[in-house]
Structure 1
Amino acid sequence: MAYHGPSYGLSRECQMKSQAKFSLERAREAIIWIERVLDKKLEVPSPDGDLRDQLDFAAALKDGVALCELINTLEAGTIVKVNMQKAPFKQRENLEMFLKGCVAYGLRSQDLFQVNDLYEHKNLYMVVDCIYALGGMSQKKGFMGPTIGVKVAKENPRMFSPDVLAESQKVIGLQYGSNKGASQRGMTPYGATRQILPEEFQKASQNAQS
């Protein structure tokens, strides 16, 4: 990864907001879930193998190998060949294949992250959210292994009879307007300013003129 130097101004502010959204506890749970699904320990730079910060989380997943193996475990044959080379473009290719696999598995575009979010440590919280979303989808699809995240609800379509639909057409919603507000009664001649006054004030004014 190229060294981009420190961020300043708006870029620095965006970076700080992204870091604030990152939960180390959720990241630990995501790593533990992946390890349990794959039945192997991921390589984390810290001496004790525990996550200390965002960089440890990124280092464990940056090459994309574990993520590709994860989606293949959930849905066999999703990724035909996982790149084991350490070349950056091969690692990025792994991440791209993983994201495409997530879409094929049923995740929505808003559940995904961009390759640079992980590879360049830009928005690592989105990587965590994606893993949780993938875990929720795996529960919906009947995966019998370890779980993480909230199970995605199944669609529950409602069927109404023609008679019920016809009755609904008789209801006049508030969006159609109301005749309980101001009216044009007592409006001054064309071109003059319209005044909306309380009804009591209008009666008092009319009595005074008569």
Structure 2
Amino acid sequence: MAYRATKSGLSAETQDKINKKYDVDLACEMLKWVSSMTGESFCTSGDMDNFQETLKNGVILAKLANVLKPGSIPAKKLTPSTMSFKQMELIQLALEVFKQMGVKETEIFQSVDLTERVNLNQVVICLQSVGRKAGHGPKESKENKRDFSEEQLKAGQNVIGLQMGTNQHASQAGMNMGKMRMITSDEKQ
């Protein structure tokens, strides 16, 4: 149940753009992965209504956090609640565990993104990142750090990259701006 007023105007357009980013198939895949990890049985349909309803009380996310990092969330907190502040608290506890696992801050969602359906796509992104940290999906790339000597860095300063373009052939020939000057010759002798 959403407690926010219906959006209109620019807010509605923005929300529509956010909703269009949501991928039903990816959400379905994430729900199936969460179900397999937690051992919980629930509908894994990726439509927005089911996705939100399945995860919004925070219990499934907390159970996932406990599977990935055992004992991180006390068992007494894993009871479903209808009070939104309790749901948000449980979601926040799960998010803290995900952060400790190494999920980047930019991939973490806010609890209102899920509970009030502000940005369900961000929830999917977060679950993808959690999955990568747990070994599900594509492997993360490794840093390819390069060290350059001072001599190499100085040599690079003298090179003009092709993306900077050139002005060797630039001219203003053929450019006409504004009204042309009319010159007439009246020769009276």
* Partner Cα separation in structure 2 for residue 108 and residue 135 of structure 1: 13
Q: How many residues align?
A: 167
Aligned residue in 2 for 1:84: 79
Aligned residue in 1 for 2:176: none
Aligned residue in 2 for 1:12: 12
For structure 2, the 5+ residue unaligned runs are 174-189
CA contact (8 A) 2:26 2:46 kept: no
Aligned residue in 1 for 2:25: 25
* Partner Cα separation in structure 1 for residue 67 and residue 105 of structure 2: 21
Moved more, 128-137 or 69-78: 69-78
1:132 maps onto 2:128 in alignment: yes
SS in 2 for 1:126: helix
Aligned residue in 2 for 1:153: 141
Aligned residue in 1 for 2:160: 174
CA contact (8 A) 1:62 1:118 kept: yes
Aligned residue in 2 for 1:94: 90
Aligned residue in 2 for 1:188: none
* Partner Cα separation in structure 1 for residue 20 and residue 47 of structure 2: 12
Moved more, 31-40 or 10-19: 10-19
* Partner Cα separation in structure 2 for residue 65 and residue 129 of structure 1: 19
TM-score (norm 1): 0.68
Change in CA separation of 1:167 and 1:55 when aligned onto 2, cut-off 3 Å: closer
* Partner Cα separation in structure 2 for residue 65 and residue 83 of structure 1: 6
Identity %: 29
Aligned residue in 1 for 2:47: 53
Change in CA separation of 1:173 and 1:93 when aligned onto 2, cut-off 3 Å: same
Change in CA separation of 1:98 and 1:7 when aligned onto 2, cut-off 3 Å: same
CA contact (8 A) 1:26 1:128 kept: yes
CA contact (8 A) 2:58 2:91 kept: yes
SS in 2 for 1:128: helix
Aligned residue in 2 for 1:67: 61
- Letter matched to residue 73 of structure 1: V
* Partner Cα separation in structure 1 for residue 46 and residue 172 of structure 2: 67
SS in 2 for 1:40: coil
CA contact (8 A) 1:55 1:121 kept: no
Shift of residue 11 of structure 1?
1.9
Change in CA separation of 1:121 and 1:166 when aligned onto 2, cut-off 3 Å: same
1:123 maps onto 2:119 in alignment: yes
TM-score (norm 2): 0.75
CA RMSD of aligned residues (A): 2.8
* Partner Cα separation in structure 2 for residue 66 and residue 85 of structure 1: 9
Aligned residue in 2 for 1:40: 40
SS in 1 for 2:63: helix
* Partner Cα separation in structure 1 for residue 73 and residue 151 of structure 2: 50
- Letter matched to residue 158 of structure 1: R
